[in-house]
Chain A
Amino acid sequence: MKKAILLVNSIAWVTLICSCGNSTNNAETIASDTLAVDSSAMMASVPEEYISIPAPDEMFSFMKDIGGAGKSTSHLNNPDNYKNYVDTKSKALNFGIYATDFLYCSTFDYGVEGLKYFVNVKKLGDDLGISGVVSESLGERIQKNIGKNDSLTDISNALYFAAISELEKSDKANILSLVIVGGWIESLNLVTNMVTKFKTNDPAIERIAEQKYTLDNLLGYLEKHKSDEHVDAVIRQLNELKTTFDQLKEESTSGAISSTGNKKVLGGGTKITITEDQYKAISAKVKGIHDSFTIVK
């Protein structure tokens, strides 16, 4: 009996060990398969087509360059609203909004106020699982640089891009989508509030009209993530804005490609024009969407 047990035991262990050996090989295969799967996922980061969205800093730096100064911080999202953002959707949208507000403060010399927005960016970043990007040492750096506009702008830009990069890296496409939408709507809302009087050829007005192209790309990007119900809901809101943008007049112009020094000048393209009524309609729609993101009932 003992011999029989010993024999069964030996067979069992040998089988198990061999099996474990196979398992190790399998583990390698699986690891390899996993990597292959993951490489597909990685490839997904470079799909056949990737849609990029201009970041808010491009809008603000343009406004600053053309002499448009931030009039005040009254149109920024109230920092106290933070406590109302309890669900992932409002946290992600308002992470983008507060990060943009922080950038606005940095660009237009409201460094001290900017700190309040940075605090909210940090809190929401923690909630969204990207706390590594918004560290306390960054807060100290910001405090040291208050009054130094360029440094603060660099820091706030770096923060925005690091957050985007972290969300991409961690495969949180739905959250990333909402962050980008929040940032874009906030920048557009702020710029429409910086325009005091409508003039057709005002570069700021033209830049607002040209957001039609950004919106087209943004919607294209969001479409890829519309399986997320929150992203889908935001798409519906933005489609209403698109309807208004689509009414703007577009005129094809001819032009060749030339060179000036080491710079290529791409002529032609489409010139877009906007009327005062259209501008007002767009501003109102933007404000409506913005308020629906920031005022949580």
Chain B
Amino acid sequence: MKKFISLYLVFVFGLLAIEAIGQRYGNVPKVSATNPCNDFQKKSCKHSPDAGFAYNGQSRSGLFSKGQQSTVKAVFFKGMDYHISVCAEDRAQANFLIKDAKTGEVLYDNSTDNNTQEIQITNENTRNVNILVTLPGAGEKKDMVKGSEGVCAGLLIEHRRSDKTGF
């Protein structure tokens, strides 16, 4: 009986010791990283109403905090039309700028175009571009989960071959 009691106490204090060690050194996070906004752009951003546009693999989506800016580097080929649309949860209006990656020249800024959330462009020459997407609300960069300010945002790019014009 005494042996049983001793073993029992060793077991209980053993549990306590393990718990104490766990508290002292912290636990290993077990939740794996996932992107809750995966494919948000496909589901939520406006697709071109025009025929012939196909999904472009350079489209992106992700979790944004208000005021956050993210840059997507992409290649736009000449002879192609691109339909670009941005979208965010809660119908937040995103700002987007397209810059020539080489020269830094601003090619398009939706804040000077009635804050439209979609455009169609074509290029005279192939170029690398930086597309800067910003969700309004600067200065409110909080922890994404604790501050519960995170919203999914997406950049949908579609492409098609430009119509030939002229002779």
Contacts and interface: CB of A to CB of B under 8 A. Distances in A.
Given A13-B12, A54-B58, A41 B125 contact: no
Contacts of A36: 143-146
A270 B73 contact: no
Interface string A149-190: 000000001001100110011010000000000000000000
Nearest to A39: B144
A65 interface: yes
Nearest to B165: A260
A270 B126 CA distance: 7
Contacts of B137: none
Interface stretch (A22-30, A235-243, A282-290): A22-30
Nearest to B128: A213
Contacts, number: 219
Contacts of B37: 42, 45-46
A169 B122 contact: no
A48 B71 contact: yes
A217 interface: yes
A283 B153 CA distance: 39
B67 interface: no
B38 interface: yes
A272 interface: yes
A157 B55 contact: yes
B122 A266 contact: yes
A49 B124 contact: no
Interface of B: 5, 8-9, 12-13, 15-16, 19-20, 22-23, 26-27, 29-39, 54-64, 68-81, 98, 100, 102, 105, 107-108, 119-128, 143-146, 150, 153, 159, 161, 165
Given A36-B144, A38-B33, A16 B15 contact: yes
Given A52-B72, A157-B55, A171 B33 contact: yes
Contacts of B76: 266
A101 interface: no
B33 A15 contact: no
A288 B26 CA distance: 51
B120 A51 contact: no
A87 B12 CA distance: 48
Contacts of A206: 78
B120 A264 contact: yes
